Homo-oligomer: A and B are copies of this chain.
């Protein structure tokens, strides 16, 4: 990091709670007036000005955007905003067979992106692949590479964000992998490791669809079924690092055994592998998830039935989440949404059947997140640690 960027990071990390709140408001709602910041933070305008001055001096915030008249007559309002290029973040999404990385500005605007195949899921090989893709990305970045303030790494499974330990990842076949420490030893910038769906939720909360809503959940379908919940102003982290395990709600019949070993998990019916297994069994030969989707589209009853059963249990799971937490909006994402037409009707029917009272007013939206969006979520997780 160059001296200028280091000074910016030092300022943010030494910030008082009030200053951190001001910067967060600027980051997520700017350009915004001093009055707007005061309202959003509960601080006096004098306190806001006192907080903004050093941010401006450090080149993190711009208070000379010109003046613009508010709708009402009176004094002109001069808005303040974060300078997105003041610092760079890197986000990496680790998939089973691929790593995807983006470099972003402070508002997760993408500056550069890279992807590389992952041939080996061994932690050493994955650390090598992450370090290599970041090196490639930094070369592509040019001068912005000297401003990398944090690296976020997102991986499926039970991740303890505080230590960066992946306690359990079924998809990666990992138990107790100290990914954060291994990456820390290899990389120059601070590293934060997050559960991938939680990182996506952080990204949507700070810079995406979550900005306009008080509460929302993301449910991802595909290889795994996961969820992230944002409520009361923050993403739910779980007191012991685990939350959002919608894929392991025991909503399926007890004779369906999950890859995690438990009975009746949602994933035991609704994960891609479970759908493919059901179709394979019906056809007496191995059928992959892509062929299963093709068969279902062509009207094959076994394939359509397997997707329908998966969709019903996902809809039931979403109703369960909604009955407990009552979010305003549920966003369905994940690679499974590529074939969402196969899920649509039975998913909504099951949701309507089990949603309780007014909780059923919760909107359900489908959003095809690209893997780049997931990597941006990881970058958002890294940016968030700068101001906490």
Q: How far is the CA of A16 from the CA of B319 in the complex (A)?
A: 38
Q: Interface size class for chain A?
A: 35 or more
Q: Are B232 and A233 in contact (CB under 8 A)?
A: yes
Known contacts A21-B42, A42-B17, A325 near B358 by CB under 8 Å: no
Q: Counting CB contacts under 8 A, is A131 at the interface?
A: no
Q: Are A160 and B358 in contact (CB under 8 A)?
A: yes
Q: How far is the CA of A248 from the CA of B236 in the complex (A)?
A: 22
* Shortest distance between the CB of A319 and any CB in chain B (Å): 7
Q: How far is the CA of A205 from the CA of B233 in the complex (A)?
A: 17
Tell me the A254-268 residues at the B interface (CB within 8 Å): 260, 262-263
Q: Are A262 and B354 in contact (CB under 8 A)?
A: yes
Q: How far is the CA of A329 from the CA of B240 in the complex (A)?
A: 10
Q: How far is the CA of A356 from the CA of B21 in the complex (A)?
A: 34
Q: Are A248 and B362 in contact (CB under 8 A)?
A: no
Q: How far is the CA of A321 from the CA of B320 in the complex (A)?
A: 9
Interfacial chain B residues near A263, Cβ < 8 Å: 353
Q: Are B323 and A248 in contact (CB under 8 A)?
A: yes
Nearest CB in chain B to that of A241: its residue: B358
- Give 1 or 0 for each of A306-323: 1 = CB within 8 Å of chain B CB: 000000000010011101
Number of chain copies forming the complex: 2
Best-surrounded residue of A227, A263, A320, A321 (most CB of chain B within 10 A) = A320
Known contacts A42-B18, A239-B215, A251-B251, A324 near B357 by CB under 8 Å: no
Q: Are A214 and B239 in contact (CB under 8 A)?
A: yes
Interfacial chain B residues near A232, Cβ < 8 Å: 231-234, 236
Q: Are A249 and B323 in contact (CB under 8 A)?
A: yes
Q: Counting CB contacts under 8 A, is A245 at the interface?
A: yes
**Contact among B227, B240, B329, B358 for A359, CB-based, below 8 A:** B240
- Give 1 or 0 for each of A171-214: 1 = CB within 8 Å of chain B CB: 00000000000000000000000000000000000000000011
Interfacial chain B residues near A150, Cβ < 8 Å: none
Best-surrounded residue of A214, A324, A359 (most CB of chain B within 10 A) = A324
Q: Counting CB contacts under 8 A, is A243 at the interface?
A: yes
Q: How far is the CA of A236 from the CA of B34 in the complex (A)?
A: 30
Q: Are B44 and A245 in contact (CB under 8 A)?
A: no
Q: Are B325 and A250 in contact (CB under 8 A)?
A: no
Q: Counting CB contacts under 8 A, is A361 at the interface?
A: yes
Closest 7 pairs between A and B when the two form their complex, measured CB to CB: A238-B326, A17-B42, A243-B326, A239-B328, A232-B232, A242-B359, A245-B323
Given contact pairs A43-B43, A241-B326, A249-B324, a sample of 19 additional A-B residue pairs in the complex whose CB atoms are under 8 Å apart? A17-B41, A21-B42, A47-B47, A158-B358, A167-B358, A215-B239, A229-B325, A231-B236, A232-B233, A236-B326, A240-B359, A242-B356, A243-B324, A243-B325, A246-B323, A250-B251, A262-B353, A262-B354, A263-B353
- A residues sitting closer than 8 Å to B (CB atoms) are 16-18, 20-21, 39, 41-44, 47, 158, 160, 167-168, 213-215, 227, 229, 231-234, 236-246, 248-251, 260, 262-263, 316, 319-321, 323-329, 353-354, 356-359, 361-362
